[in-house]
């Protein structure tokens, strides 16, 4: 009988040791800095947006609109970074670039869908939004394409 009790206690002892070891390791780990927490939160927001359904033109615009604050936040993290390593900054630049390209592509696809559906005014408004949103020399290609599309709509 004593032997049976001893066998039952061994797994319990092991479990207690594992729990204590995990608690010790967790308590010894360095806490995340505010910048790291912010990066984690923004990246989770980006992943959440990527999971959204995007089929109609309206849904594409809604998702692109949700990406804009995420892009701004990534940009702000890069400009005001304190405790962000160079490799993390490179990863953030990559995420910002991906999010920007996705947002622009969604806007262009939505405008194209409106155009094909005969909703020229809605398409024109989306192209104007692209010109208004994507400022700076890095986005001149988006603006040029949007202007060409607007000219195309006017000529029809």
Q: What is the DSSP letter of 23?
A: H
Q: Is residue 57 part of a domain?
A: yes
Q: Is residue 28 assigned to a domain?
A: no
Q: Which long-range contacts (CB under 8 A, 24 or more apart) does 91-95 make?
A: 92/39, 95/43, 95/46
Asked whether residue 43 is domain-assigned, the answer is yes
- Establish if 132 belongs to a structural domain: yes
Residue 30: strand, helix, or coil: coil
Structural domain contains residue 93: yes
| Domain, as residue range, for 78 | 34-155
Q: pTM of the predicted model, to two decimals? A: 0.76
pLDDT in the model for residue 21 = 52
90 occurs within a structural domain: yes
The two structure tokens encoding residue 127: 């192209």
Is 86 within a domain? Answer: yes
Domains contained in the chain, number: 1
**Does residue 20 fall inside a structural domain?**
no
Among candidate residues 28, 70, 99, 93, the one with its CA nearest the CA of residue 84? 93
Q: How confident is the model at residue 8, as a pLDDT? A: 40
Return all residues near 143 (Cβ < 8 A) that are at least 6 apart.
Answer: 130, 131, 134
- Per DSSP, 33 falls in state P
pLDDT along the chain (156 residues), means of 10: 42 52 52 77 89 90 95 90 79 91 96 96 97 94 97 90
- Taking the alpha carbons of 127, 132, 136, 137 in that order, is the dihedral positive or negative? positive
């Amino acid at each position: 009988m004593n032997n049976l009790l001893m066998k039952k206690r061994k797994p319990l002892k092991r479990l207690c040791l594992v729990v204590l070891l995990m608690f010790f390791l967790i308590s010894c780990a360095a806490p995340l800095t505010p910048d790291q927490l912010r990066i984690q939160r923004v990246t989770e927001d980006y992943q959440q947006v990527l999971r959204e359904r995007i089929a109609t033109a309206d849904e594409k615009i809604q998702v692109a609109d949700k990406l804009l604050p995420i892009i701004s936040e990534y940009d702000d993290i890069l400009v005001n970074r304190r405790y962000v390593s160079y490799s993390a900054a490179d990863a953030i630049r990559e995420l910002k670039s991906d999010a920007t390209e996705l947002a622009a592509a969604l806007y262009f696809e939505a405008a194209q869908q409106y155009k094909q559906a005969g909703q020229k005014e809605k398409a024109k408004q989306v192209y104007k939004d692209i010109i208004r949103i994507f400022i700076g020399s890095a986005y001149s290609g988006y603006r040029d394409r949007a202007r060409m599309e607007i000219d195309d709509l006017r000529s029809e």
